[in-house]
Amino acid sequence: MNYKIVRLNTASTKNIESTILIIYTGGTLGMAYDHTGALVPFNFGQILDKIPAITSLNIAITVISFPEPIDSSNINIQHWKDIAYIIYENYDSYDGFLVLHGTDTMAYSASMLSYILEGLNKPVIFTGAQLPISAMRSDARENLMTALEIATAKVNGVPVVPEVCIFFNHMLLRGNRSKKVQSVHFDAFESENYPVLAEAGIIIDYNKNVIMPYKPSNQLRYNSAIDTNVVILKLFPGISKHMIESVFKINGLRGVVLETYGSGNSPSEKWFIETLEEAIDNGLIIFNVSQCNGGRVIQGRYETSRDLLRIGVLSGGDITSEAAVTKLMFLLGQEKDPEEVKRRLSIPLAGEMTMIKS
Ligand code: ASP
């Protein structure tokens, strides 16, 4: 851990029913306007002042704050490892974990955490806000308080949501199925290819059939090796051989998330297929993910994806780009054998994709 931890204990001493660890990383939720009118993160002590009710819950809350809270556009690999390690290290001491995080990269972070924390059996709930907690109409209080309830929910001593999720604007979504789709309205996240895990109205209505089952024998592992030698390459009409080759020539590049059209289609021109084929033959892993938010890649469905299948492009099925690029970084870090990377890319590691056919 290369930064200092600030611990605040907000627990009231009476009738403690659950324990929760909040990891405060920053984001709009805890921001305030500086002298230039720009939003900058402030510290967690100031956040608590805005929600006094938090200290009177029957939940013992410990907060670990990044010493310098960040805008999540500044999130990096080390931050991911640190958040995961904090959870790993404190795993036995808490019923659940809440990660307060900016919305911009929340889906990436939640995806990566779902891979690093293999064998997770407790809730890890990400939340944040579109408006700072100090703003009159802020969504921060609602998101934070409901996320706390979800992170501590148990039935017969068993956690209701033993997986990495995003709670935002009344909806609980699987973290590695989520995507930020709104920067202005409160409904910032969507999970087009996987059902909502719970909806919060006057009660929290859990959709138990689609939540990861609790597995008593699970042992948490902290798999921190990550390799960032990957890119996302988005196709667009007019993309040239020169552009694609320039990307493929990046020093050390090992994997590409290729954002294709519709159900995984690309130009079928000879130069395009040959450029990809040559790169694959030289060891590059190409993972086909659709530019559409909903649906799935089915290589071979159209003539314009048949060649991708033939030359060894791997289908991402219904995975999001966020879950795909983090999965690629994760597997390239974990596995020495490229064949093993390819094999594991094609199967779900943490519920991020539905089994694929091509
Ligand atoms: N730029 C902010 C962040 O991601 C936006 C937010 O929190 O909603 O940290």
Tens of pLDDT, residue by residue over 314-354, are 999 999 999 999 999 999 999 999 999 999 999 999 999 99
- Closest ligand 1 atom, residue 73 Cα: 4
Closest residue by Cα to residue 146 from 196, 198, 195 = 198
What count of other Cβ atoms lies within 10 Å of the Cβ of residue 342? 16
Cα-based distances in Å from 29 to 78, 105, 176, 185, 345:
22, 14, 21, 15, 34
pLDDT at 107: 98
pLDDT at 7: 58
Closest ligand 1 atom, residue 26 Cα: 9
If one residue of 40, 66, 73 were mutated to test the ligand 1 pocket, choosing by the most ligand atoms within 8 A of its CB, it would be: 73
Vertex 153, ends 92 and 95: CA angle to 5°?
A: 10
Q: Over pLDDT 70: what percentage of the chain?
A: 95
Residue 55 has pLDDT above 90, yes or no: no
Q: What is the pLDDT of residue 4?
A: 53
pLDDT for position 358: 47
Taking the C-alpha atoms of residue 274 and residue 168, their distance in angstroms, rounded to an integer, is 44
pLDDT in tens, 56-110: 778 888 888 888 889 999 999 999 999 999 999 999 999 999 999 999 999 999 9
Instruction: Tell me which residue has its CA closest to atom 8 in ligand 1.
Output: 103
| Nearest to 229, CA basis, from 353, 105, 77, 347 | 77
Residue 315 has what pLDDT?
A: 95
| Mean pLDDT of all residues in 244-263 | 97
C-alpha distances (whole Å) from 334 to each of 96, 150, 164, 323 are 26, 31, 20, 16
Q: Are 195 and 210 in contact (CB under 8 A)?
A: yes
pLDDT surpasses 70 at 115: yes
Ligand 1 atom with minimal separation from the 29 CA: 7
Catalytic one of 25, 28, 103, 105: 28
Q: How far is CA 342 from the centre of its chain?
A: 21
- The pLDDT of residue 92 is 97
**Lookup: tokens for 248:** 């493929």
- pLDDT at residue 129 above 50? yes
CA–CA gap between residue 344 and residue 286 (Å, rounded): 13
Q: What is the rounded CA–CA span in Å between residue 229 and residue 133?
A: 37
Q: What mean pLDDT is reported for the chain?
A: 92
Q: What pLDDT is stored for residue 130 in this prediction?
A: 92
Mean pLDDT of the 169-197 span: 96
User: Cα dihedral angle (151, 147, 17, 86), rounded to 10 degrees?
Assistant: 50
- The backbone torsions φ and ψ at residue 180, rounded to the nearest 5 degrees and listed phi first, read -75, 125
Question: Looking at per-residue confidence, does 174 or 133 come out higher?
Answer: 174
pTM over 0.85: yes
Q: For the chain, which domains are there? A: 4-222 (3.40.50.1170), 230-345 (3.40.50.40)
3-state secondary structure of 68: strand
Mean predicted confidence (pLDDT) in 159-164: 98
Task: Say if residues 151 and 145 touch (Cβ distance below 8 Å).
Answer: no
Reply yes or no on whether 28 is catalytic.
yes
According to the model, what pLDDT value does residue 39 have? 76
Q: Look at residue 207 and tell me whether its pLDDT is greater than 70.
A: yes
Q: What is the mean pLDDT of residues 2-14?
A: 56
User: Bridge-partner residues for 205, per DSSP?
Assistant: 199
> How many whole angstroms from 71 Cα to the centroid of ligand 1?
6
Binding pocket residue ranges, ligand 1, CB within 6 Å:
26-28, 71-73, 102-104, 128, 130
The rounded percent of the chain whose pLDDT value lies above 90 is 77
Ligand 1 centroid, distance to 59 Cα (angstroms):
27
> How many other β-carbons are positioned within 10 Å of the β-carbon of residue 16?
12
Q: Contact 45/22 with Cβ under 8 angstroms?
A: no
pLDDT of residue 2: 46
